[in-house]
Amino acid sequence: MTAVRTRFAPSPTGYMHIGGMRTALFNWLWARHCGGEFILRIDDTDRARNVEEALEPILNSFRWLGLDWDEGPGVGGPHGPYFQSERGDLYREAANRLLAKGLAYRDYATSEEIAADRETAQQEKRPYLNIRRSLDLDQATLDEYAETGKPHVVRFLVPRDKTVVIDDAVRGNVEWNCGLLPDPVIQRGDGSPLYNFATVVDDAGMEITHVIRAEEHLSNTPIQALIYESLGESLPTFAHIPFVTAPGTSKKLSKRDLAKYRNNPQFKKMFERGDTVFPQLGLGDSETLNPVMVAYYEKIGYLPAAVLNALARLGWSLDDKTEILSLSEVKENFTLDRIVKNPAGLDPDKLFAFQSHWMGELPMDTKVSGCIDYLLRAGLIDSADDQMRTFVGRVIAALGDRLKLFSDILDAACFFKDEVEYDEKAFKKRIAKESVPPLLKQFQQERLSAIDESDWTTEHLEAELQSFATTHEVSPGLLIHALRIATTGQPVGPGVFDCLVLVGREKTLERIESALARVEAQA
């Protein structure tokens, strides 16, 4: 049996799309499941669209997720080059072979002639097919055109009396009537290839056995199958997988719809998180980096395990019940017959649930390292020595289940800053009430100031507050909310006594004084 060889061939035109990454993952999984090889090829023939700087983010997405490649950029291999821009001689040689065999032709038709032919076909309500005028030119005219360099393209000659049939691994038997297919351009006038031609030359030359790709490429398949046959190559197994839709829609997930996604209830939370975190990290905003990109999830603090878990479940399932799966578990069970035909909807809420699970599986030391990276980049700390690691661990322990993403540590900035940034609405509600400031001041003077540093513990602080509330016949909650706002500035967070311990005795007393002074200044 021929060893399985799959490939993913991104065009370096921007950050790695989350849907494209799902396609790459399925290729990687099938190769690894079968003990085969996964090839990464860069389809950079469209020089007008490609951005050289875009390649590294694509490779970084693979590295971050832990998806290695056996042949390709940085690795090499026996079937290179692995950039289409470096394979021009191979495309020209293949085109010349088809021309020599009469399976392709140089088309000298002008754009005006082609437009007129299309208009006629439209008026006659029939499919557009090439008139093939160039096939009727005599040799003398062809020689003259060649000598004068008359503009032309090379077209593949579609056998119109043929039916193309493939057995798609996902969609089953699919047929196309070639009598309805126009002759595609396979080579531009400058000798550069077009996608349908280049991808066949590459896949055949790289001995790809399985072409696993998004279903929008299904329409390319009949022409590609014909080119395979004309080049004397065997067809690979095709598997056209469902496209990824935006949450709650049947429309393909697209970067072009970013403005609409901001109003999508599920995506909205993603954008807001990015708008909060990215400026602190010097990454711009959620327009520059957004939830359609793989890099977004890395930068926002998701775990590779969570993203891979979510991607694997987009159009593939082990059974009707199992949701949480590690990459090794998916790899062990991955088969093409488990891929569904229907579009697969990206569900940010489910992804967040996966993240919550996998974050909970991490040992504390790993959580500390991940959070410290964000604290350093945001300028909240300037070192990561043992003392700081211990303190960050204490903050993480206090946050508990609130720490879903590594970037969530930035919401605990109050424990790393000297100054408090108040939530104005919460400040007015919890501290600036007429009865609260004197009560808070009295609690500080009678109880907090009397507690030694050695007794500054959650248990002792709670006991003092409960005792004070009982003595003065006030609701403990009144003081708890006031203390939280005074010491952290925020209405939610870890338990208030955990907050007081993390802030420390001296800073707690200072912050209460500052909050009370602020109330006076605003009076």
Hey, which residues are catalytic here? Answer: 255
| Three-state secondary structure call for residue 42 | strand
Alpha helices in 134-183 (DSSP H): 139-148
Strand pairing category for 104-107 and 153-156: antiparallel
CA dist 306 and 289 (Å) reads 19
Angle, CA 365 vertex, CA 309 and CA 21 arms, to 5°: 25
Helical axes 348-360 vs 304-312, angle rounded to 10°: 140
Are 199 and 151 a contacting pair, CB within 8 Å?
A: no
> What's the farthest any 2 CA atoms get from each other in the chain?
112
> Quick check: 299 and 61 in contact, CB under 8 A?
no
Determine the Cα angle at 202 with ends 22 and 29, to 5°.
30
Phi-psi region of 50 (alpha: psi -120 to 50; beta: other; left: phi over 0): beta
Evaluate whether 69 touches 39 at the Cβ level (below 8 Å): yes
Query: Is residue 164 a contact partner of residue 230, using CB atoms and an 8 Å limit?
Result: no
Cα 325-331-334 angle, rounded to 5 deg? 95
For residue 428, say whether it is annotated as part of any ligand binding site. Answer: no
227, amino acid identity: I
Which residue ranges are tagged as binding site for ATP?
255
